[in-house]
């Protein structure tokens, strides 16, 4: 049975996360499996070019642009009504990354295997940022299914490692399943003890005034978004003017549009 908005609200308030099973069509997931390693290879070239030789293996950051299955995923605006409910209005894409959890230990993105929060500011009851995790492969205990600590979004101080480990639960699911969680939830990946890599998409969303990790409007260019809803998602409606001409404009032509919070 489909989750209602009220059920989602309750789960986010109490435990800090909600699971939506097999949301993304298998046909799109199959194409993401092909396209994602290409994006990761491109990011790896930049990592090596700038001396990041270890610690980021398997990680791909800011995989926006283009016309492949990853762009199509964003265009579908999965769970849009739930994300809008979480923020109480408009939101933007704060980052769009992916993680390939490689088999064995010490071969994957090291930050992901330690308990962490993806927003450094504890925002309490004010909802600042939301994580999405999209299972491109099946998530199992063997291949390092994500650990989350229920209710940890309600506590400002970092719990002890012992507490986090003993209270964490593992999020398993079929390909196409989506996990939404408050960015103040303590979470981590786990070692992949299977024989195959395990892939996931890891977009984050934020209130429009919260600075993006990468300036997507400038990165993508004015002509990229295909419609007004995507302009909102990529942050084109929440830009900062850089001169008087951009500032003194009628509402319909302003860079920071009404309704952005």
Say yes or no to pLDDT of 111 above 70. Answer: no
Distance CA 74, CA 96 (A): 9
Token pair, residue 95, equals: 């980052």
pTM of the predicted model as reported, rounded to 2 decimal places: 0.94
CA 89 to chain centre: 18
143-169 average pLDDT score:
96
Q: Where are the domains of the chain?
A: 5-253
- Dihedral of the CA atoms 154, 159, 163, 167 (nearest 10)? 30
Q: Express each pLDDT in 128-141 by its tens digit.
A: 999 999 999 999 99
- Dihedral of the CA atoms 149, 153, 158, 163 (nearest 10)? -30
CATH of 5-253, one of 3.40.50.300, 1.10.268.10, 3.40.250.10, 2.60.120.620: 2.60.120.620
Q: How confident is the model at residue 184 (pLDDT cuts 50, 70, 90)?
A: very high
Nearest-CA neighbor of 181 among 190, 165, 169? 169
Per-residue pLDDT, 225? 86
199-225 average pLDDT score:
96
């Amino acid at each position: 049975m489909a989750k209602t908005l009220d059920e989602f609200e309750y789960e986010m308030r109490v435990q800090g996360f909600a699971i939506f099973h097999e949301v993304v069509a298998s046909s799109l997931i199959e194409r993401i499996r092909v396209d994602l390693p290409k994006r990761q290879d491109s990011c790896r070239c930049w990592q090596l070019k700038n001396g990041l030789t270890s610690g980021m293996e398997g990680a791909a950051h800011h995989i926006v642009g283009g016309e492949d299955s990853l762009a199509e995923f964003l265009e579908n605006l999965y769970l849009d009504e739930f994300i809008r409910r979480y923020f109480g209005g408009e939101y933007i894409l704060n980052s769009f990354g992916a993680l390939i959890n490689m088999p064995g230990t010490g071969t994957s993105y090291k930050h992901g295997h330690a308990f962490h929060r993806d927003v450094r500011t504890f925002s309490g009851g004010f909802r600042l940022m939301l994580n999405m995790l999209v299972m491109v492969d099946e998530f199992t205990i063997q291949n390092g299914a994500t650990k989350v600590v229920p209710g940890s979004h309600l506590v400002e101080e970092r719990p002890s490692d012992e507490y986090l480990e003993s209270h964490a639960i593992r999020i398993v699911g079929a390909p196409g399943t989506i996990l939404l969680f408050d960015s103040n939830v303590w979470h981590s990946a786990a070692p992949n003890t299977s024989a195959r890599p395990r892939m996931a998409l890891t977009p984050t969303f934020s209130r429009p005034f919260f600075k993006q990790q990468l300036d997507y409007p400038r990165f993508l260019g004015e002509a990229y978004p295909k419609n007004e809803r995507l302009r909102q998602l990529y942050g084109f409606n929440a830009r900062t003017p850089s001169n008087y001409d951009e500032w003194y404009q009628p509402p319909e032509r302003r860079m920071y549009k009404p309704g952005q919070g």
